[in-house]
Amino acid sequence: MMSSIKLPKKLMLLGSGELGKEFVIAAKRLGNYVVAVDRYPDAPAMQVADANEVISMLNPDDLEAVVVKHQPDFIIPEIEAIRTEKLLEFEQRGIAIVPTAAATNYTMNRDRIRELAHQELGIRTARYGYATTLDESIAVSEKIGFPNVVKPVMSSSGKGQSTVRDQSEVEKAWNYAIAGSRGDSQKVIVEEFIHFELEITLLTIKQWNAPTIFCSPIGHRQERGDYQESWQPAEMTDTKILEAQEIAKKVTDALGGAGIFGVEFFITKEEVIFSELSPRPHDTGMVTLISQNLNEFELHLRAILGLPIPKIEQFGASASAVILASERSDSINYIGVAEALAEKDVDIRLFGKPNAHPYRRMGVALAKGENVQQAREKATKAASQVKIQP
Ligand SMILES: Nc1ncnc2c1ncn2[C@@H]1O[C@H](COP(=O)(O)OP(=O)(O)OP(=O)(O)O)[C@@H](O)[C@H]1O
Ligand SMILES: NCC(=O)N[C@@H]1O[C@H](COP(=O)([O-])[O-])[C@@H](O)[C@H]1O
Ligand SMILES: [Mg+2]
């Protein structure tokens, strides 16, 4: 069975950011051919791929044209904002969609995956409601109570997300969510604010011919709904780890296919609460670039291609911290990389994004330490040493 796997494969990546770039590196190391697709030229993954295409991935005709042109064996979504109905069509035509077209459809919008987890699978989530007008938003907010969190159903990396403390802030949150919504949706989700002790990403690897396996949980800290630092292992009781693994298995089994999933949880004193998941490598999982023998991108590739994963080895306390832009700029230079790299067990990734704007993630610092606190301090210090100059 394993011996029948023939390489190279032709992979088409839909979305070519930092996560895609590391995935392409993993794929190229095993000699595969990769076409990197995104909405703008010179995107990070395009810089290391065999071919690239600049299209609107929400436009079905654009998707059709690049698929007909390149005839990929696999289509690998890297972002949510893709015309997923078209992926269902490609799947019917015999192209493998990772992990499945249905999974990308479920996770493209927050409401679909929430309904699957909460309504169909009975998994504990934050209490929630939806709104498609300001009036509905006011009513739902009242019902959920304060504080609550408002997010466009279609967005990622915290875009359009805000916390509402009382009724007077509802309108501002509604407008912000609609402005930050990606794609053509005018719908928001209002969620109960969870006062968590810790939030984690449980990287879950679903395989074709082997059991589902998990990475050690990754803790993370977010600001403005976007990740700032992550670390592994996250401190959690074995009971809670098992509970999170059970939920992750339940949801990923329902989604099907093979590949890595970043399953996000809020951990309170009493509970493990499912938040959302990415059917692909997760930004907080970039810590695995330094913390494991096989990083999340290599794991995704092996799972997709049906290659074995005999053992995931965790190297001990490790952390990542983001390098963010502070200004808008079209020409970018970095200083301070030498200073950051002078520290033992520190590494830097610069994504090569062609332009910057405030809070855009341009790179990441990685570190190992004697304990998680030291690893986090090293990563955060290294990230702060790297400065972006126009
Ligand atoms: N109900 C909630 N209660 C408390 N904090 C929340 C809640 N929902 C979101 N957050 C905070 O905001 C962060 C981002 O939220 P969420 O993961 O839903 O957004 P996202 O835009 O999909 O992010 P990404 O695409 O980076 O995963 C969470 O990691 C958490 O820190
Ligand atoms: N939380 C999702 C996430 O981290 N996605 C990553 O960010 C890129 C977009 O970056 P950009 O907005 O700077 O172009 C995506 O292409 C993906 O690599
Ligand atoms: Mg998230």
Domain range for 26 is 2-97
Active site residue 246: no
187-211, pLDDT tens digit by residue?
999 999 999 999 999 999 999 999 9
Tokens of 130: 């939806």
Residues 241 and 354 in one domain: yes
Indicate whether 112 belongs to any domain: no
Residues 238 and 365 in one domain: yes
For the chain, what is the mean pLDDT?
97
Residues 245 and 369 in one domain: yes
Give the pLDDT score at 390: 79
CA distance linking residue 193 with residue 155, whole number of Å:
18
The residues that bridge with 206 in the sheet, in sequence order, are 259
The residues that bridge with 334 in the sheet, in sequence order, are 388
Residue after which a domain boundary falls, among 156, 176, 192:
192
Ligand 1 atom closest to the Cα of residue 159 is 21
What CATH number did the domain enclosing 84 receive?
3.40.50.20
Q: What's the gap in Å between 154 CA and the centre of ligand 3?
A: 12
Active site residue 223: no
Catalytic residue among 252, 361, 363, 380: 361
Residues 133 and 57 in one domain: no
Q: Is the CB of 283 under 6 A from ligand 2?
A: yes
- When pLDDT is cut at 50, 70 and 90, the band that residue 2 belongs to is low
Q: What percent of the chain has pLDDT over 90?
A: 94
Q: Is the CB of 157 under 6 A from ligand 1?
A: yes
Ligand 2 atom closest to the Cα of residue 361 is 13
E-strand ranges in 8-167 read 10-14, 33-38, 51-54, 74-77, 96-97, 128-131, 148-152, 162-164
Q: Taking the CA atoms of the chain, what radius of gyration do you get in angstroms?
A: 20
Residues 207 and 345 in one domain: yes
Active site residue 352: no
Q: What's the gap in Å between 360 CA and the centre of ligand 2?
A: 9
234-246, pLDDT tens digit by residue?
999 999 999 999 9
Residues 137 and 46 in one domain: no
Give the pLDDT score at 214: 99
Residues 29 and 9 in one domain: yes
Active site residue 158: yes
Indicate whether 55 belongs to any domain: yes
Residues 310 and 264 in one domain: yes
Q: By the 8 A CB rule, do 113 and 107 touch? A: yes
E-strand ranges in the chain read 10-14, 33-38, 51-54, 74-77, 96-97, 128-131, 148-152, 162-164, 188-192, 198-206, 213-214, 218-223, 226-232, 259-267, 272-278, 318-324, 333-335, 346-350, 361-368, 387-389
Tokens of 133: 């007008």
Dihedral pair phi/psi, residue 61, rounded to 5°? -70, -40
26-79, pLDDT tens digit by residue?
999 999 999 999 999 999 999 999 999 999 999 999 999 999 999 999 999 999
Residue after which a domain boundary falls, among 164, 192, 220:
192
99-133, pLDDT tens digit by residue?
999 999 999 889 999 999 999 999 999 999 999 99
321-362, pLDDT tens digit by residue?
999 999 999 999 999 999 999 999 999 999 999 999 999 999
Residues 73 and 137 in one domain: no
Q: Is the CB of 228 under 6 A from ligand 1?
A: no
276-291, pLDDT tens digit by residue?
999 999 999 999 999 9
Sequence-distant (≥ 6) Cβ neighbours of residue 238 within 8 angstroms:
none
**Is 161 part of any known ligand binding site?**
yes
The backbone region for 316, taken as left when phi is positive above 0, alpha when psi lies in -120 to 50, beta otherwise, is left
Indicate whether 122 belongs to any domain: no
- When pLDDT is cut at 50, 70 and 90, the band that residue 172 belongs to is very high
Range name among 45-59, 92-106, 158-172, 173-187 with the lowest pLDDT average: 173-187
Total structural domains in the chain?
A: 3
Residues 28 and 153 in one domain: no
Q: What is the pTM of this model?
A: 0.97
Q: Tell me the torsion sign for CA atoms 14, 20, 23, 24.
A: positive
What CATH number did the domain enclosing 233 receive?
3.30.470.20
Residues 61 and 156 in one domain: no
Ligand 1 atom closest to the Cα of residue 283 is 26
Q: Is 389 helix (H, G, I), strand (E, B) or coil?
A: strand
Mutation choice for ligand 1 from 220, 266, 324, CB with most ligand atoms inside 8 A = 266
356-366, pLDDT tens digit by residue?
999 999 999 99
**Is 156 part of any known ligand binding site?**
yes
Indicate whether 120 belongs to any domain: no
What CATH number did the domain enclosing 180 receive?
3.30.1490.20
Would you say residue 1 has pLDDT above 60? no
